[in-house]
Chain A
Amino acid sequence: MSDTPAQSVAFVRETAIPPSPAPANASGIVKWMRDNLFATWPNALLTIASIYVIYLILAGTMPWIFNGVWNTNSLAECREVLDGTVGACFSVLTERWNQLLFGFKYPVDQYWRPLTAFLLMFAALAPVLFFDLPRKLLIITALFPFVAYWLIWGGTIWTPLFALLGFVAGYLVYARFVTQSFAVGFFGGVFAAVVVWIVTGYITPMLAPEQPLLEAVPSRDLGGYMLNMMLGLTCVSLSLPLGIALALGRQSSMPLIKWICVIFIEFIRGVPLITLLFVANVMLAYFFPPGSGVDLFLRVVIMITMFSSAYIAEVIRGGLAALPKGQYEAADSLGLDYPQAMRLIILPQALKISIPGIVNIAVGLFKDTTLVSVISMFDILGMIRGPILASTDWNGVYWELLGFACVVFFVVCYSISQYSQWLERRLATDHR
C-alpha cells in the first residue's frame, strides 16, 4: 500500500467534470460556411462556380415567370401586352384550366362532381396511409370507389349499388366458409359475387330511371389531369394486391400456380407498356362478349394494372427472399397456418423491405398514365398536344403548358416519395 498518489498508477475519479459549451469558433454560420463551402481552394472555386450557374438559371427564368401575363385571350394578345419584353404567357392556364384538369368534353356545370370525388379521396386514403387512425374509418375507404364512380360517371345509382352488393355477398360467403378452408371460402366468395353481378346486370337496365339524378358521362368524355389521377389511383390500388398474389404464387409449392405466375410476370415484363395500351385500345374488345361494350377506361386500367403488378410482384419477391428462413419456421412452429403466417408475419416484414421499390413503381406508373394520350385519350398531355396547342389562339405556348404538367405531376410524385420516407421511419422497429 502506498500513501501518496504519485507512487500509484491506480486512480479513481471522485467528482465529475461539469460540461462546458464549445468554443465560439467551433459553431455558428461562419464556421458552417468555412467547413462546408470554403474548406479548401478547389472547394471554394467549386462553390463560386455553382453559385454562378444558379445565378444564370434564375436570371433566365425569373423575369420570364414574374413578367408573365395572366389575363389575355390568346397568344397574340400576350405578345402585344409583352411588347417584345421577356415574359410567359400564363393566360393559357387561366383560360384553359378547366380543359387541363377535366378534359374538353366533361359537362362544365358538373365539375363539382369530380371535385367532390377528389376531396373524398383524401378521406378514403387517410386511414390506409396513416394506420394510427381508428380502423373504423376504413369503411369510408371501402365505400369510396363506389361513391366516386357514381359521382364521376353519373347515371343510375343502381350500377355502383349492385357492384357493392356483389362484394358484400362475396364477403359474406367467404366469411361463412373460410373456417372450413381458405380456398373454399375464397372461391365461394368469388362465385357468389359473380352470380350477383350477372343477375343484377340484367335487372339494372329495367330499374334505370329516364332522368338519373346525376347526368351520365361516358368514359370518352373524361380527360385532363382528372383522367391521370383516376388511372393512377385505380391502377396503384389494384396492382398492389395483385402483385402480392403474384409474388406469393411464384413462391408456391404448387407447380401449376407457380408456372402461371412465372409466365405472366415474365411475359408482361418483356412487353412495352405502349404495346399493351394499343392492345387495350383495339384488341381486348375481342375477348369480351360482343356488344358488352367493355369500357375503354376499364380496358386501359386492366392493362396498366397487369403491367405494374408484374413489376410490384418482383419487388415483393425480393422482400420475401430477404427474410430469414427462421421467420417462416417460427411461424410454423407456433401452429399458424399459411394464410395467417403470410398475413401476420411474412408480408408485413417483406412489404416493409419492399417499400422503396414499390414506391418507385407507383411513381413510375402514375407518370406512365400520360401514355394513354397515344391511344387518343385526352389526359393532361393529350389535351395539351391536341385541343389546346392545335387551337389558333394558343398555338405555340409550349413552355407554359408543359411546365404546368410538370408541376402537377411533381406535386403528387413528391408527396408519394415523402410519404414513403415517413412510412419507412414509422415502421423502423429493428433498431439496428
Chain B
Amino acid sequence: MADTAQMKVSDEVAISIQQMNKWYGAFHVLRDIDLTVYQGERIVICGPSGSGKSTLIRCINALEEHQKGSIEVDGTLLSSDLKNIDKIRSEVGMCFQHFNLFPHLTILENCTLAPIWVRKTPKKEAEETAMHFLEKVKIPDQANKYPGQLSGGQQQRVAIARSLCMRPRIMLFDEPTSALDPEMIKEVLDTMIELAEEGMTMLCVTHEMGFARQVANRVIFMDEGQIVEQNEPEAFFNNPQSPRTQLFLSQILGH
C-alpha cells in the first residue's frame, strides 16, 4: 500500500491560525493556538474529551466565534464581516459526527442545494456534479431516497459528497466515524483515504489511529485547550515526547 503520509505537500498556506483564543463565558476553551496548515496537508487532531478539538475546527469555518488572535483561510481573514465568513464557508467543507443531512430533501437535493443557491450553478449542471460525487462515494443508486432510508455509513458518505459538491479547497471532519457501527467505519474511512490520495487539504478530528498512521502528514495532540504536541505520525506514535501524550496514547492504544 502506498504510504500516502509521505506524499509531498506544497508550501502554499491554506490555513494560518495565530495566537487564537476562545472563551465560553469565563471558561477558557482554546488557549494561544498557533497552527499553519499547508495546501494538500492532512492533519489528524486527537486528544481527550473536552480538550477543545471540535471547538478548534469549528472556529475555522466560523461556526464558533473566536475572541482573540487571527484565523486566515486561503488568504481571507476571518472577521465579523459576513461577506468574508460566507466566502470562507463556501470554500471549506465540513462533515459532522451526526451527519446533519437535511431529512426533508432527497440525497440528490441535499447535494445540489448549496451549489444551486450559493454558487448559482444551473440545476442540471449541479445534478451532474452531484451524481459524480455520489458515484465517488459509491452510492449513486440511492440518489432519490431520503436520508432516513440510509444506513449511518451511507449517510456519512452522502455528507462527504454534499460537501465535495461545493468543490471545497479544505475539508474539516469532526469525528466522522464515532457515531457509526464498526462495520460501517471502514466504508467511511475508505472514502476519506481516497480523498486524501487526491490531495485534498484535510483537518480531521478522529480517534482512528490506523487512519492517522496511514493518511496523516501530521498528528496534533490537544489537551485543555492547547496544542500539546505535534509530529509526523511515525514519530508521534512511536516516540511521544510529552507525558500527557504518552498517557493518552497508552489509554487509547493500550488495550
Which residues of B are found within 8 Å of A333, using beta-carbon distances?
Answer: 61, 63, 89, 92-94, 163
Complex: A381 Cα to B118 Cα, angstroms: 53
Complex: A113 Cα to B148 Cα, angstroms: 49
For this complex, into which size category does the number of interface residues on chain B fall?
A: 20 to 34
Complex: A348 Cα to B110 Cα, angstroms: 14
Given A335-B90, A348-B104, A349-B103, CB of A429 within 8 Å of CB of B117: no
Which residues of A are found within 8 Å of B100, using beta-carbon distances?
Answer: 324, 326-327, 329-330
Complex: A348 Cα to B109 Cα, angstroms: 14
- A 316-330 binary contact with B (CB < 8 Å = 1; else 0): 000000001011011
Complex: A326 Cα to B103 Cα, angstroms: 12
Contact B104–A335 (Cβ < 8 Å):
no
Of A165-173, A336-344, A371-379, the one with at least 4 CB within 8 A of chain B: A336-344
Contact B89–A335 (Cβ < 8 Å):
yes
Contact B96–A344 (Cβ < 8 Å):
no
Chain A nearest Cβ from B163, distance in angstroms: 8
Q: Most B CB atoms within 10 A — which of A336, A348, A352, A432?
A: A336
Given A330-B100, A330-B101, A349-B103, CB of A432 within 8 Å of CB of B148: yes
Contact B102–A327 (Cβ < 8 Å):
yes
CB within 8 Å of B: which of A370-419? none
Complex: A427 Cα to B114 Cα, angstroms: 22
Chain A nearest Cβ from B76, distance in angstroms: 13
Given A330-B100, A330-B101, A336-B114, CB of A430 within 8 Å of CB of B94: no
Set A327, A335, A431: member contacting B114, Cβ < 8 A: A335
Complex: A324 Cα to B101 Cα, angstroms: 11
- A 90-124 binary contact with B (CB < 8 Å = 1; else 0): 00000000000000000000000000000000000
Set B96, B101, B118, B148: member contacting A335, Cβ < 8 A: B118
Per the CB 8 Å criterion, the residue count for chain A at the interface is 22
Q: Using CB atoms, name the residue of chain B closest to A338.
A: B82
Q: Most B CB atoms within 10 A — which of A330, A337, A349, A427?
A: A330
Which residues of A are found within 8 Å of B62, using beta-carbon distances?
Answer: 332
Contact B96–A326 (Cβ < 8 Å):
yes
Which residues of B are found within 8 Å of A431, using beta-carbon distances?
Answer: 146, 148-149
- B 144-180 binary contact with A (CB < 8 Å = 1; else 0): 0010110000000000001100100000000000000
Q: Most A CB atoms within 10 A — which of B62, B102, B163?
A: B102
Contact B104–A429 (Cβ < 8 Å):
yes
Complex: A131 Cα to B113 Cα, angstroms: 19
Contact B89–A334 (Cβ < 8 Å):
yes
Q: Is B86 an interface residue (CB 8 A)?
A: yes
Q: Is B98 an interface residue (CB 8 A)?
A: yes
Complex: A324 Cα to B162 Cα, angstroms: 19
Q: Using CB atoms, name the residue of chain B closest to A323.
A: B103
Chain A nearest Cβ from B91, distance in angstroms: 8
Complex: A24 Cα to B4 Cα, angstroms: 68
Q: Top 10 nearest A-B pairs by Cβ distance? A: A335-B90, A330-B100, A326-B100, A334-B114, A431-B148, A335-B89, A333-B94, A429-B146, A430-B148, A335-B118
Q: Which residues of A contact B (CB under 8 A)?
A: 324, 326-327, 329-330, 332-337, 340, 344-345, 348-349, 352, 427, 429-432
